[in-house]
Amino acid sequence: MAVKSPGLTPLHEHSLKVILDNQNEGGGYLACPVMPDYQFSWFRDGAFIAYALTVDGTLNPIPHAVGRNAQWDSADRFHRWCARMINSRAAAIERTIARAANGEPLVLADTLNARYQLHGDPGPDDWPEFQLDGPAIWLWSLTKYVDVCRVRPLPLEWEQAVELTARYLAAIWQSPCNDCWEERGTEVHVSTLAAIFAGLNAAEYLVPRLNFSAVKDAIQKFIFAQGITPGYELAKAVGLDMVDANLLLAALPDFGLLKPDDPLMQRTIARIERDLLAQGHGVHRHRADTYYGGGAWVLLGLWLAWYYTQIGQPERAQEILGWAEAHADADGNLPEQVKDVMFAPDFYEPWVQKRGEIAQPLLWTHAKYLLVRNALAT
């Protein structure tokens, strides 16, 4: 679609175009249109994309349908897609909730997938599908849309999906699962717990008759008892003296586990800066990362920049934004990560052999780009 607006920079316009062009009619976004393994729609990627569009539609509305700009129209279709994905799996989700209540083990076939084909079937089986952060982040993202676009009362299908998702997360939050990097499926990840906390908060806000205070309390206590490093930072996972840039999930705006300026969050960020901030501003995921050599993620650099805007450090955010812009290709496509600095360079080629070049454009990176630009502009 043609995206032109007098106030926008070419990269801002291109980011919108990449996102809007890679959403199908049903509402799902491709994570990346060129990498075969990423030609699916994820709750997590899409939730951040829809959030970024919701904000962008307020500040830079691109004319579209009557009463609705292109950004809000797209976010709306994504939220409908999520609600459909979830509601159409209600029977399986209810079985999972019932099993958890009876103390029975989890059956993976009855859990939500991480990635779906655009018409709604799950992606191929050879993927670490069990990830609890994605649906939780969707709940958080939906609050922004509902507030900004004044969607009250919630459409019935949304209310059903919100309640179902929240009950599902509340029932199995303690289960080990893959983290948002789709790794280490036998561990309990603090970032995932933080996302679930935010998701339950969001669900209560969206459907006020819901009350998850006992579970939220339990999650908080669990994190403080088992998810803190000896140096008093949030830990990557239970029992690890290590951080992960995904701990930025702990400070999701409005509904997050910690306020951005909470001392524990600030200590966690300080360690992320020490251990993971690459020279030149990209951010590595974690010190044991070997995916495409464990490069510097543009997505994460921008996420850190977004965090800096929330704690009143726009200059640092601006520097990272400039670095990210310098990594757009000639067409303006932003990648997932870059290989200027790698933790494990020997692993770069094997991943290229397996999956092809690093994903570019990655829609989620473009979404983070929009978030930072808009945060700096307001």
* The token pair that represents 136 in the structure block: 């939780």
**What residue type is assigned to position 93 of the chain?**
I
Q: Candidates 37-45, 212-220, 319-327, 346-354 — which segment interacts with ligand BGC by CB under 6 A? A: 37-45
DSSP 3-state assignment of 174? coil
Region from 105-113, 178-186, 213-221, 311-319 binding ligand BGC, contact rule CB under 6 A = 178-186
Ordered DSSP codes for 261-309:
T-HHHHHHHHHHHHHHBPTTS-B-S-TT--GGGT-EEHHHHHHHHHHHH
Residue 300 lies near ligand BGC (rule: CB under 6 A): no
Q: How far is the CB of 343 from ligand BGC (least distance, A)?
A: 15
Short-list 258, 367, 373, CA closest to 18: 367
| Dihedral over alpha carbons 7, 10, 15, 19 (to 10 degrees) | 90
> By CB under 6 A, is residue 182 in contact with ligand BGC?
yes
Query: Among this protein's residues, is 336 annotated catalytic?
Result: yes
State phi, psi for 189 to the nearest 5 degrees: -100, 130
Give the number of residues in contact with ligand BGC, rule: CB under 6 A.
Answer: 10
Chosen residue from 29, 42, 303, 323 binding ligand BGC by CB under 6 A: 42
Question: Does 306 engage in binding with ligand BGC (CB under 6 A)?
Answer: no
The span from the first CA to the last CA of the chain, in angstroms, equals 27
**Pick 45 or 73: Cβ nearer ligand BGC:** 45
Is 129 an interacting residue with respect to ligand BGC (CB under 6 A)? Answer: no
Partner residues linked to 237 by β-bridges:
189
Give min distance, CB of 52 to ligand BGC, in A: 14
Q: How far is the CB of 281 from ligand BGC (least distance, A)?
A: 20
Task: Output the smallest distance, CB 218 to ligand BGC, in A.
Answer: 26
According to the binding rule CB under 6 A, does residue 137 interact with ligand BGC? no
Q: Nearer Cβ to ligand BGC, position 364 or 369? A: 364
Q: Which range of residues in 41-49, 94-102, 117-125, 168-176 is near ligand BGC by CB under 6 A?
A: 41-49
C-alpha span between 79 and 137 (Å, rounded): 12
Question: Does the annotation count 157 as an active-site position?
Answer: no
Instruction: Given the residues 179, 183, 244, 289, select the one marked as catalytic.
Output: 179
Give me the catalytic one of 45, 133, 183, 336: 336
Assign 41 to helix, strand or coil.
strand
* Least Cβ distance, residue 378 to ligand BGC (angstroms): 27
Say which DSSP state 122 is in.
Answer: B
The 3-state secondary structure of 20-34, one letter per residue: HHCECCCCCECCCCC
Pick from 180, 251, 265, 320 the residue near ligand BGC by CB under 6 A: 180
Q: Which residues contact 139 (CB under 8 A, 6 or more apart)?
A: 162, 165, 166, 198, 199, 200, 202, 203, 206
Residue facing ligand BGC at closest CB distance: 31
Joined tokens for residue 15: 């980011």
The least distance separating ligand BGC from the CB of residue 202, rounded to whole angstroms, comes to 19
Q: Which of residues 341-370 bind ligand BGC (CB under 6 A)?
A: 362, 364
Pairing assessment for the beta strands 115-116 and 41-42 based on DSSP bridges: antiparallel
* Closest approach of ligand BGC to the CB of residue 365, in Å: 9
User: Who's near 24: CB < 8 A, 6+ residues apart?
Assistant: 30, 118
User: Considering only residues 279-298, where is the footprint of ligand BGC by CB under 6 A?
Assistant: none
C-alpha span between 245 and 267 (Å, rounded):
13
Q: Applying CB under 6 A, does 31 fall inside the site for ligand BGC?
A: yes
**Annotated catalytic, 315?**
no
The active-site residue, picked from 56, 73, 182, 233, is: 182
Applying CB under 6 A, among 41, 45, 55, 243 the residue interacting with ligand BGC is 45
For binding to ligand BGC (CB under 6 A), which residues are involved? 31, 38, 42, 44-45, 180-182, 362, 364
Known catalytic residues are: 179, 182, 336
